[in-house]
A and B are shown apart, each in its own frame.
Chain A
Amino acid sequence: QSALTQPPSASGSPGQSVTISCTGTSSDIGRYNYVSWYQQYPGKAPKLLIYEVTYRPSGVPDRFSGSKSDTTASLTVSGLQAEDEADYYCSAYAGINHVLFGGGTKVTVL
């Protein structure tokens, strides 16, 4: 099964908001509320940002928020900061295919 679809890049100035989309199908994002988002810096392991579409683990700033509509999930980073420049990946449970990841979005802070 194909990976989830994310835009390869997104950017914003400090203080602005940036929203990253993650498009799946009725078999994954459209069927289950098991969407998660990860932040990854170069050479580092991914870090969990959002789980079950909207929940933030302890320690993740509330500038990060998640949502879902039909077969598309979104991650919004509000009040963009220099440290938010990283790669972001979505993930969704896909039943028989278990878990799919998106191709990743590189966020640049202008």
Chain B
Amino acid sequence: EVQLVESGGGLVQPGGSLRLSCVVSGFIVSNNDMTWVRQAPGKGLEWVSLLSYVERTQYADSVRGRFTISRHKSDNILYLQMSSLRPEDTAVYYCARERDEHFFDYWGQGTLVTVSA
């Protein structure tokens, strides 16, 4: 059975940092393209970042230079290191597997990040 479980969310002050984790079971993270998608409270989905199986990274303009996506190969974990956080980064962050045809077939349950003083 495939499972993606995010953790690491919480309340952080503007300018602060946070690292999100996504523990995956049922497939190998390093053999797949993995993505972070976020959803601000009451709002729609927003693609945040991609880590391809060949370790190519891509970021949305809104987070480029502040967020870093990475993975731990042996532990089968996807990470999102977030720094210089802003109130507009407040959202539920989902990790998901992205297929070659750019759709997301497996999603985690999400972890809430709140940026507030």
Contacts and interface: CB of A to CB of B under 8 A. Distances in A.
Contact of B47 (A51, A52, A57, A99): A99
Interface residues of B, number: 21
B105 A34 contact: no
A102 B47 CA distance: 11
A12 to B, nearest CB: 22
Interface in A50-65: 51-52, 57
What size tier do the contact residues of chain A reach? 20 to 34
Contacts of A44: 109
Nearest to B95: A45
Interface string B49-65: 01000000010100000
A51 B107 contact: no
Contacts of A46: 37, 45, 94, 104, 107
Query: DSSP class of B's interface residues: helix, strand, loop or mixed?
Result: strand
B101 A51 contact: yes
Given A45-B94, A45-B110, A98-B58, A51 B44 contact: no
B74 to A, nearest CB: 26
Given A36-B103, A46-B37, A46-B107, 13 more contacts: A34-B101, A34-B102, A45-B109, A48-B103, A48-B104, A51-B101, A52-B103, A57-B105, A91-B102, A93-B102, A98-B102, A101-B45, A102-B44
Interface of A: 3, 32, 34, 36, 38, 44-48, 51-52, 57, 89, 91, 93, 98-104
